[in-house]
Amino acid sequence: MQNLLKSIFISAFPVFALYVAGRYNLEIIQNEPQLGTVGLMIMAISIVVFFIGLFVMPRARTGRFLILYTVTITIGLVLTILGRAAFESKEYVYVSLLIVGWWLYLVWYSVFRNRDTSVVQVGNTLPTFTLETHQKEEVSSTSFIGKPSIFLFYRGNWCPLCMAQIQEVVDQYKTLEEKGVHMIFVSPQPHGFSKKLAKKHGLHFQFLTDVKNTAAKQLGIASKNGIPFGFQVLGYDSDTVLPTVIITDRNGVIQFADVTDNYRVRPEPDFFLEYV
């Protein structure tokens, strides 16, 4: 139930902020701006800029508390409090929803609590699981034994942070080739999306599909109802995977596992490349 609520929240909250920003931008243009209205605009626009920025200027990671945006939103909140005398009841509702929504995003939506990471502990042998190519050919995880391997589990082409993280790794392809590393990108998204991604990067990396999240469930990194609500109409399944990086040695023993507790906090490629 919690994941379903998160799915609905992450679709609704940015849209609500966009609505508030558009509504009060028009009001400021048409009327003399009030202090409280300006503060409300600053809050809404800060939220909109953050979410749009994830797609327009993709980055693989952010800070946990998004200090710049949080400070700006707080400044907007202070202005709304100072100018509250001119507010109607609906403005109080908008301010409350924006500030509560922002903190829910930071400390509730972004965070994965109580993850069971026992299966992917360093020193364990990676369990055997089966993935598929975009031609629906089966590939066993044991086929990568013999060389160091990096398994990067990503949520799907819809996730801008995942796409930026993949791009970072792609930029390291020469180093990976020199080290003789298997680089395996894994997502439960439909085969066609993985095929599109493989074609885009055009390298010898493996872009494989975890059908029905079978491997993710086995590894304890599955995320039920993990995609934003409504993205199903684009062809994605409701369930996805928690962003995870697993590195194994030539014998299939786990040397490194990043099982982040926050989807916006991910390791730098230079850091995990030290383990291969």
Q: What is the pLDDT of residues 145-186, one digit of tens each?
A: 999 999 999 999 999 999 999 999 999 998 998 899 999 999
As given in the structure block, the two tokens for residue 65 are: 């508390």
Q: Is the pLDDT of residue 270 over 90?
A: no
Which SS3 state, helix, strand or coil, does residue 268 take? coil
CA distance 253 to 158: 31
User: Buried (b) or exposed (e) across 198-214, using 16+ Cβ within 10 A?
Assistant: beeeeeebbbbbbbebe
Q: Using alpha carbons, select from 154, 151, 147 the residue that is nearest to residue 119.
A: 151
Percent share of the chain, pLDDT over 90: 80
Amino acid occupying residue 5: L
Q: Where are the domains of the chain?
A: 2-109, 118-275
Is residue 201 within 8 A of residue 170, CB to CB? The reply is: yes
**Homologous superfamily (CATH) for 118-275:** Glutaredoxin (3.40.30.10)
DSSP designation for 107: I
Tens-place pLDDT, residues 185-236: 999 999 999 999 999 987 778 999 999 999 999 999 999 999 999 999 999 9
Q: How many CA atoms lie within 13 A of 50 on its CB side?
A: 26
Is residue 35 within 8 A of residue 89, CB to CB? The reply is: no
The H or E element spanning position 130 is strand 130-132
Confidence of residue 276 (pLDDT cuts 50, 70, 90): confident
